[in-house]
Amino acid sequence: MTTPPVGIIMGSQSDWATMREAAVLLDELGVGYESRIVSAHRTPDRLWDYGKTAVERGLQVIIAGAGGAAHLPGMMASKTRVPVIGVPVQTRALSGVDSLYSIVQMPKGYPVATMAIGSAGAANAALMAAGILALQDAKLAKRLDDWRAALSASIPQEPSDD
């Protein structure tokens, strides 16, 4: 089985409602991906193996979503040089600010490209991954340009009352 270019990983099944937004967009753009539950806290060996084999398996971008003490994206960035895009999942207790702060403040040397909290962040992670892959893929670049143009065209000039 060939490895798709993008790995979507998340700390828990409960993150899928958010991370699905990334999957939906990658589907729209025709970008292959795999989705896995990988937790630094609950499945540390799985995290280790995923990070250790990411380069040799051919993953090109990893989108990592987690909530609360969201160590998954940073730990994955420590384990592989494959670029990691972090998605702070919204939490009930602290609205996702906990997730954001856990992901964004990486020490020098191990970056995580951190998106907005919640579903907008998950969707943007997919667009960011597509943008990275499009640097080497002219057909994808065209699909991404078309997607962006369609979004622009859908924005009305004036507000309406309905």
Ligand X SMILES: Nc1c(C(=O)O)ncn1[C@@H]1O[C@H](COP(=O)(O)O)[C@@H](O)[C@H]1O
SS3 call for 68 = coil
Separation of alpha carbons 29 and 151, rounded Å:
13
Number of residues that bind ligand X (CB under 6 A): 17
Q: What is the smallest separation between the CB atom of 65 and ligand X, expressed in angstroms?
A: 7
Separation of alpha carbons 153 and 139, rounded Å:
21
Question: Does 60 engage in binding with ligand X (CB under 6 A)?
Answer: no
Question: Does 72 engage in binding with ligand X (CB under 6 A)?
Answer: yes
- Asked whether residue 92 is marked as a ligand-binding residue, the answer is no
By beta-carbon proximity to ligand X, the closer residue of 119 and 134 is 119
For 158, phi then psi, to 5°, come to -125, 150
Q: What is the smallest separation between the CB atom of 136 and ligand X, expressed in angstroms?
A: 30
Separation of alpha carbons 91 and 71, rounded Å:
14
Question: Does 15 engage in binding with ligand X (CB under 6 A)?
Answer: yes
- Closest C-alpha to 64, from 33, 94, 93: 33
- Closest C-alpha to 86, from 46, 134, 40: 40
Question: Does 143 engage in binding with ligand X (CB under 6 A)?
Answer: no
Question: Does 94 engage in binding with ligand X (CB under 6 A)?
Answer: no
From candidates 6, 40, 84, 126, binder to ligand X by CB under 6 A: 40
SS3 call for 85 = strand
- Asked whether residue 152 is marked as a ligand-binding residue, the answer is no
- Asked whether residue 12 is marked as a ligand-binding residue, the answer is yes
Binding residues: 12, 15, 42
Contact positions toward ligand X, by CB under 6 A? 10-12, 14-15, 39-42, 66-72, 89
Binding residues for substrate: 12, 15, 42
